[in-house]
Amino acid sequence: ALTCGTVSGNLAACIGYLTQNGPLPRGCCTGVTNLNNMARTTPDRQQACRCLVGAANSFPTLNAARAAGLPKACGVNIPCKISKSTNCNSVR
């Protein structure tokens, strides 16, 4: 099962991009891709979603538009929107 530590570790390189309008580092997209590849089952995707929502809420300066657009910016298709209010129970 995916842990929030794994999710956070994979997305650590994205923090500056998501909170300080910095450039999008390659390591961030590598992490997004890794995370997508790890979350193969519905329970794993829901757990990853919960971790993402929790992480999003821990950053008051999170740029919501950048967070929502992160998967697309990295060329990754994920089944949920990264936001502070995503309903993770609806993720399949």
- The structural domains of the chain, ordered by start, are 4-74 (1.10.110.10)
pLDDT at site 49: 92
Q: Residue 48: is it exposed, middle or buried by C-beta count within 10 angstroms (0-12/13-18/19+)?
A: buried
Residue 11 has a pLDDT of: 94
Q: What's the pLDDT score for residue 78?
A: 81
Provide the b/e sequence for 9-41 (b: ≥16 CB within 10 Å).
ebbebbbebbeeeeebeeebbebbeebbeebee
The position carrying tokens 């999003």 is 56
Query: Considering the chain, what is the average pLDDT of its residues?
Result: 92
Predicted TM-score of the model (pTM): 0.89
Structural tokens at position 87: 């309903």
pLDDT of 38-83, one tens digit each?
999 999 999 999 999 999 999 999 999 999 999 999 999 887 778 8
Q: What is the DSSP letter of 74?
A: T
